Amino acid sequence: MNQQTAQKKTLRAGLIGLGMMGRHHARNLKALEGVDLVAVADAHGDPHGAAPGYEVLPDIDALIAAGIDYAVVAVPTQFHKDVVLALAEAGVHTLVEKPLAFDIGEAEEITAAFEKAGLVGAVGYIERYNPALQEMRKRIADGQLGEIYQIATRRQGGFPARIADVGVVKDLATHDLDLTAWVAQSPFVSVGATSTRRSGREDEDMVSIAGRLENGTITGHLVNWLSPFKERVTVVTGEKGALVGDTVTADLTFYANGESTTNLWESMASFRGVSEGDMVRYALKRKEPLKTEHEAFRDAVLGVDDSNIVTMREGLHTVRTVEAVLESARDGHVVAL
């Protein structure tokens, strides 16, 4: 690290959790301009060698005692409440891995604690920071699609060996529920879901979700970890066409609506159909999503820009939506939020 870069390192960051996601957080924090990673903690040590040269502290109290401005929490979800509430009490800004908490009660308690303390709190929904979805969100906000009619997502792939405590809804579908509400800038008001268990595990491994957002947009989500291929696709359809984002390849494609008017017979003369128009695949700067996420949180802590973080209140709403999906799948009815 050169002297000029070192002088720019102003925020003291701490990381708790050095597992599969924690190791990537450590790598990004060590390289993040304007930040010094000063302490790491994990009760199980550093299994991936993510923080060479650092003393691995045993718990959150020791991390706080190291004197940090903000923390990244990458421990299992069941430990989020205790760890994050300790950080709130200590006045430490916090980025916590998704989901915000294990259930609605814990999520509400965490959100209230951070809002009361006036701290920056965010949830690590990394899919939002994929170049394809960042560009999609900008284009929708600029009116490229006009009125939004439908958002459909597909998130399918093989079973991740790292998952032991939750089903596919809390692990994967939570991404789709978050990004859908964010892309449309409108929360879910109802969901209906069907799930199944095919792998012999206690939790669901496949789910199909139908939803409706507050602004009237309808949504559909296919999620599983029993497919022999990996798919991460978001399709947003509106009055002027459709945007298709692939977050595996970070590609974004626009399919224009040719807006042809049918003239088959007089009774149909007022019907406006659709036709194939131009198709454009955009050239995007393929920046690592986790780096963008860390830059956004750093800027929010510094008070430079807080517009590109996933707030804890948004994370709370996603937890509510996840719980509604599980209730719907269990009881067989549509659940209103």
Tens of pLDDT, residue by residue over 307-337, are 999 999 999 999 999 999 999 999 999 999 9
Q: Taking Cα atoms as reference points, which of 49, 44, 33, 39 lies closest to residue 13?
A: 39
Q: Return d(Cα 328, Cα 198) in angstroms, integer.
A: 19
pLDDT per position as a tens digit, 88-128: 999 999 999 999 998 999 999 999 999 999 999 999 999 99
Amino acid (one-letter) located at 199: S
pLDDT higher than threshold 70 for residue 266: no
Q: Return d(Cα 96, Cα 90) in angstroms, integer.
A: 15
- What fold characterizes domain 3-126+292-310? Rossmann fold (3.40.50)
Return mean pLDDT, the chain: 92
pLDDT higher than threshold 60 for residue 199: yes
Q: Return d(Cα 23, Cα 28) in angstroms, integer.
A: 9
Residues with Cβ within 8 Å of residue 256, at least 6 apart in sequence: 240, 241, 277, 278, 279, 280
Ranges in the chain annotated CATH 3.40.50.720: 3-126+292-310
The predicted model scores a pTM of: 0.89
User: What is the signed CA dihedral for 213, 218, 220, 221, rounded to 10 degrees?
Assistant: -20
Ranges in the chain annotated CATH 3.30.360.10: 128-286+318-336
CATH code that applies to domain 128-286+318-336: 3.30.360.10
